[in-house]
């Protein structure tokens, strides 16, 4: 099975002199949800910025569906949808106009658009917000708006950065249900979060980042083994792995 997303020995960051990521290798296969976990400053968002093509790696390679951003920029960008940690929206556009803009950008036909939006507005309880300007939405509603835009596209890869913080419990449940549904339909998901209980419950694989290094990866069982503890929760395994820092 060819991975949808492949990071091969990626070293990168914001300046050549001071890399933040050191030789990262991560694979996300079709139908797989991978959780990226790490302390504040471990490099999760920086990893995501590299995958999005917002930062250029110093060494290594990043492939989506076998293409690098340089070799096939249109295909690369069309293959993923991104839900950012902080909603990025045009204040002067309504919710509906944002969704229509996304549909235009990804060339989604009218019938598909209508079917998907009908489902999403009910799922996220946003039907009565469609005509509201995004500047007038609450933080959680703005987050839901970003999530609906991503799920409207139904790409092969979802990149989701710390999605749960602004959402109410119903919104969290809807998002998780939708992620499971997309995964079962074959999509891949790379998600970063500090909510380890949710990551433990939903992710097929985990990547533990610490100071820009992958210090453990694989299924829950692999992370538990790496921690050296006897059948720990993910939280306990994670704490054991990162508590003394990482010496190389």
Ligand X SMILES: Nc1ncnc2c1ncn2[C@@H]1O[C@H](COP(=O)(O)OP(=O)(O)OP(=O)(O)O)[C@@H](O)[C@H]1O
For ligand X, the binding residues (CB under 6 A) are 14, 20, 38, 40-46
CB of 99 to ligand X, least distance (A): 27
Nearest approach in angstroms of CB 184 to ligand X is 28
Closer by beta carbon to ligand X, 85 or else 123: 85
CB of 199 to ligand X, least distance (A): 13
Q: Which CB atom, from 46 or from 57, has the smaller least distance to ligand X?
A: 46
Selection from 204, 231, 230 nearest residue 32 by Cα? 204
Q: Which is nearer to ligand X, 117 or 159 (CB)?
A: 159
Secondary structure E strands in the chain: 5-12, 21-28, 33-37, 59-64, 80-83, 157-161, 188-192, 205-210, 213-218
Closer residue to ligand X, CB minimum distance, 99 or 223: 223
- 93: which 2 tokens? 């556009």
Residue 41 beta carbon to ligand X: minimum distance, rounded to whole angstroms? 4
- 215: phi then psi, degrees, rounded to nearest 5: -100, -15
C-alpha 205/C-alpha 32 separation (Å) is 8
Contact of 200 with 186, CB cutoff 8 Å:
no
CA distances from 189 to 16, 33, 235, 246 (A): 29, 5, 21, 27
| Minimum CB–partner distance for residue 194 and ligand X (Å) | 6
Q: Which is nearer to ligand X, 54 or 225 (CB)?
A: 54
Instruction: Using DSSP, state whether 170 is helix, strand or coil.
Output: helix
């Amino acid at each position: 099975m060819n991975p949808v997303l492949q990071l091969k020995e990626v070293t990168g960051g914001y300046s050549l002199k001071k890399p933040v990521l050191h030789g990262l290798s991560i694979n996300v296969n079709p139908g797989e949800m991978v959780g990226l976990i790490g302390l504040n400053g471990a490099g999760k968002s920086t990893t995501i910025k590299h995958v999005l093509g917002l930062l250029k790696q110093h060494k290594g390679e990043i492939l989506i569906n076998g293409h690098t951003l340089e070799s096939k920029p249109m295909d690369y960008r069309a293959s993923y949808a991104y839900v950012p940690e902080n909603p990025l929206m045009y204040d002067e556009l309504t919710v509906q106009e944002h969704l229509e803009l996304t549909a235009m950008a990804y060339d989604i036909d009218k019938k598909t658009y209508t079917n998907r939006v009908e489902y999403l507005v009910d799922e996220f309880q946003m039907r009565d917000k469609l005509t509201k300007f995004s500047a007038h939405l609450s933080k959680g509603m703005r987050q839901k708006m970003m999530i609906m835009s991503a799920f409207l596209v139904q790409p092969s890869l979802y990149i989701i950065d710390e999605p749960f913080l602004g959402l109410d419990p119903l919104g969290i449940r809807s998002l998780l249900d939708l992620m499971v549904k997309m995964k079962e339909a074959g999509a891949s998901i790379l998600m970063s979060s500090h909510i380890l209980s949710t990551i433990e419950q939903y992710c097929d694989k985990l990547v533990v980042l610490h100071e820009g290094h992958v210090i453990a990866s694989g299924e829950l069982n692999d992370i538990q083994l790496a921690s050296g503890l006897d059948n720990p929760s993910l939280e306990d395994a994670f704490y054991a792995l990162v508590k003394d820092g990482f010496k190389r």
